[in-house]
Amino acid sequence: MGDRPEELRALLDSVAAQDGAAIEVVVVGNGAELPDLPPGVRTLELPQNLGIPGGRNVGIEAFGPGGSEVDVLLFLDDDGRLPDKTTAETVRSAFEADPQLGIVSFRIADPENGSTQRRHVPRLRASDPMRSSRVTTFLGGANAVRTHVFQQVGGLPDNFFYAHEETDLAWRALDAGWHIDYRADLVLHHPATAPSRHAVYHRMVARNRVWLARRNLPLPLVPVYLLDWALLTLVRRPSRAALKAWFGGFFEGWRTPCGPRRPMRWRTVWRLTRLGRPPVI
């Protein structure tokens, strides 16, 4: 968004300091002008904000169709930083060791105290962020994706703009047979924040939840999944304004096109269940 030039420079410095082969870098200005950046960094300035998935898809195509010019793509938030110089080499080793590994989700830690917020552990049993495991989704601002995944199942859903675009890609990748790992030893330093700081948070979380279900779930699971999330939202007792925005987004998700529907196989439903997160919650 062009509003964090110092943090962006710190991130780029941490990427440049990685051990091993140099990492090719593209910075996408999502509807914003970019500041001066280090030599060798490619830049793309978009005339309008395409949202998180749209901006990342443009970045992917900068490396050829579906990122075909490279083997793996890192996605890093512009206010993050890689504290460990061996992160890139660890990522390379992970993908080389497991041909079916499609996506790696990093651990996000606060740079001040090293803590990891529960919402940044992409599984239901999130009490121990130091435990690595196979998971069913990943963190959008701190991950690595094998480019063959994008070539096989397509990119992130542009129309989501913000929220749940990672889970949409994750479900398609799992349905195609890929694995997703959460790796506690791969760390991105990022200030602890609340997602509700975004004005569009409640509306888009609800709208995209409906789109996610309509696009990806077998028909019998769609109402179960959405009813569960509606009940969970009520249990969390959001403010009246937040609840109004949430239900507005929920009904918007039913009224508006969700994009192509490709329901996952029941075999994938069982696989998600065995991984600890059946696609009803």
Rounded CA separation 250/230 (Å): 9
What is the residue type of 48? Q
For the chain, the DSSP string reads --S-HHHHHHHHHHHHT-SSSPPP-EEEESSS------TT-EEEE-SS--HHHHHHHHHHHTTSGGGTTSSEEEEE-TT-B---TTHHHHHHHHHHH-TTEEEEEEEEE-TTT----GGGS-SS--S-TT--EE-S---TTEEEEEHHHHHHH----GGG-SSSHHHHHHHHHHHTT-EEEEEEEEEEE-----GGGSTTHHHHHHHHHHHHHHHHS-TTHHHHHHHHHHHHHHHT---HHHHHHHHHHHHHHHHS------PPPHHHHHHHHHTT--TT-
Task: Specify the pTM.
Answer: 0.96
Domains of the chain (ranges; CATH) run 5-193 (3.90.550.10), 196-274 (no CATH)
Q: State the residue for tokens 């497991």.
A: 98
**pLDDT at residue 172, rounded to an integer:** 98
What local confidence, expressed as pLDDT, does residue 192 receive? 86
User: 21: phi > 0 → left, psi -120 to 50 → alpha, else beta; which?
Assistant: beta
Give Cα separations from 236 to 100, 121, 211, 230 (angstroms): 37, 19, 22, 10
- pLDDT, one tens digit for every residue, the chain (281 residues): 888 999 999 999 999 999 999 999 999 999 999 999 999 999 999 999 999 999 999 999 999 999 999 999 999 999 999 999 999 999 999 999 999 999 999 999 999 999 999 999 999 999 999 999 999 999 999 999 999 999 999 999 999 999 999 999 999 999 999 999 999 999 999 998 777 655 689 999 999 999 999 999 999 999 999 999 999 999 999 999 999 999 999 999 999 999 999 999 999 999 999 999 999 98
**Whether 234 contacts 188, CB under 8 Å:** no
Strand order through the sheet with 72-76: 72-76, 142-146, 101-109, 179-189, 133-134
